[in-house]
Amino acid sequence: MLRSENRLLLTTDHAVSAVELAAGIGGEVQHYLSVRMLGGPVVVLPGAPGRWLILTSSADEASQVNLIRLRARGALTHRLGTLVPLPPSRIDRGGVGWLGDVPAEKPFLPPFSAVVAALRAVTETAGLR
43 CB neighbour count, 10 Å cutoff: 22
- Identify the band that residue 105 occupies on the pLDDT scale cut at 50, 70 and 90: confident
Round to whole Å and give the CA distance between 89 and 14. Answer: 23
Specify the higher pLDDT residue, 111 or 2.
111
Q: Please enumerate in sequence order all residues whose Cβ is within 8 A of that of 72, keeping only pairs 6 or more positions apart, or say none.
A: 128
Q: Please enumerate in sequence order all residues whose Cβ is within 8 A of that of 128, keeping only pairs 6 or more positions apart, or say none.
A: 72, 73
What domain range includes position 86? Answer: 2-124
Round to whole Å and give the CA distance between 41 and 33. Answer: 11
Does residue 129 belong to any structural domain of this protein? Answer: no
pLDDT at residue 121 greater than cutoff 80: yes
Q: Please enumerate in sequence order all residues whose Cβ is within 8 A of that of 17, keeping only pairs 6 or more positions apart, or say none.
A: 55, 56, 57, 58, 59, 60, 77, 78, 79, 80, 112
Does residue 49 belong to any structural domain of this protein? Answer: yes
pTM for the whole structure: 0.91
Total count of domains within the chain:
1
Question: What mean pLDDT value characterizes the chain?
Answer: 92
Per-residue pLDDT of 9-53, as tens digits, reads 999 999 999 999 999 999 999 999 999 999 999 999 998 889 999
Round to whole Å and give the CA distance between 55 and 16. Answer: 7
Q: How far apart are the first and last CA of the chain?
A: 36
Does residue 70 belong to any structural domain of this protein? Answer: yes
Per-residue pLDDT of 63-80, as tens digits, reads 999 999 899 999 999 999
